[in-house]
Structure 1
């Protein structure tokens, strides 16, 4: 066994004095106080943080890989979406050219993108040139009827590509002339074999080509009512009368004759005359007549009062006129007297 003992310091080693050693100890204690209390779990916490950092590095690499995959998928979807949009636009553009040529009797139209490279960052423009107009005409320079024809041609072009079960038109032919209105009606009639068209219209050509009619009239109280006994021929005749009001004289004369013919027709149902009060009311009739007399009493009094006020106003007007005439006579006499005095002084 070896005994534990302290080896003596070498002879050449110089030891500090007691005062220097105490000073050094106090310096080290102050330095330790500045560092604060020592965390005895720092080593364990460091190991945990290092392990967490390693796992986060692995997750970061996974996220980078996923991001790369998502970017690739997004680019593929964007490319497919752009290709499908251009494909649909090409088909619709071809249909639009045909539809607009039919509706405008030889006009030209085209659809194009504002930003062909990035179509989803721009809009869709419509160019239409009616027959007989310059090719430099702008869409905003077209008249209201021409814009309506272009819009309807676009609707028909979309229908040819992706048909809908039914279409609802609300007076789309109201601002069109008779020729264009007839073209719209004929095209709707032709396309009604594949879809159902509901049209609100007042034009006779649309009424003539329609299969079914529902008459709607204004009741005068802000509500619309359905005409039960709707007469198609009468509606067409009334439409001809309204459309002929702005036509030349011969058409106007024929419209007046047609209007008289309609008035002579007694087959149409008319509003019946009001029925008299039933006799079963008995004494209530006298009570009703008494109420009518009470209502007429104040009205007759107001009429008499108004007549009296009118007479008073007339009398006051006559008095005022008489006073004005007297004042004017006196002023004339005064002026004549002044002139006579001036002549006397001159003499």
Structure 2
């Protein structure tokens, strides 16, 4: 810990927070992820370290160091000036179709490398996509990542041995969770990441989540409403999902793509249509997606060195400042707490 000077908090997660720090010996600015000690947090931390050590891509956040201090674990990572959500919501930064296409290309390239290394992320979402001061998109937060296993010894929070890969189904943030996960599947592969990527690409255009459920049931209902009731043709192995037959669906047809994805480029609609599919076996993999005509059609992807570059204080700049009303409420609550303390 003495090797670093803590500067300010830049984010917070389930098990801890992320701070900006300076390495005392070099003056280099880094990000330090602090993870509070617990059995689950320790397990996720070890997986994150192993995944980051195995990966070597310009589109994955670099792992620099790790250490323990005061019953907490710390990961030292390269400092990233901003994140994809901040770039999308900043009115002072202009992102046109060529910029968004480059972000998409970077994302697919990072995912392709990750999957080629036999690692699935299992929590791809805009908040886990960071932007460097050079404007490069990088995949971060591998706390739910998993090495893909190819033998019958594969098990993840499941005691019994299976003849096929078996992992926990409690992964991925709800709005980016593939339908097989929503229905409790524990047999899946890289294709769950590709569903998430499809949702992210749509959100980059719409500036709002494609399927915005506030509960698992609502999420399922929204997906089924938009993609239509699953059939033998669209999802032949759906009855293998543990929770699929627990629900009954009113028959509905899929929403036309021009309504689901309004004002989208036709080639982007085609690309998304090959990612956001019930049938995981038919989803494009990341390498196939990189070869999709969308990336070779006008407007071409922006050159990386010309991408918008966030200022180093971009997150702080976008933090909402308290209004007079909020300040007044805070004072009132402060007085109330003092009164309660005196009682």
Q: TM-score range by the shorter chain?
A: under 0.3
Q: Which has the higher strand share?
A: 2
Q: TM-score, normalised by structure 1?
A: 0.23
Q: Which has the higher helix share?
A: 1
Higher relative contact order (CA 8 A, sep 6+): 2
Q: TM-score, normalised by structure 2?
A: 0.23
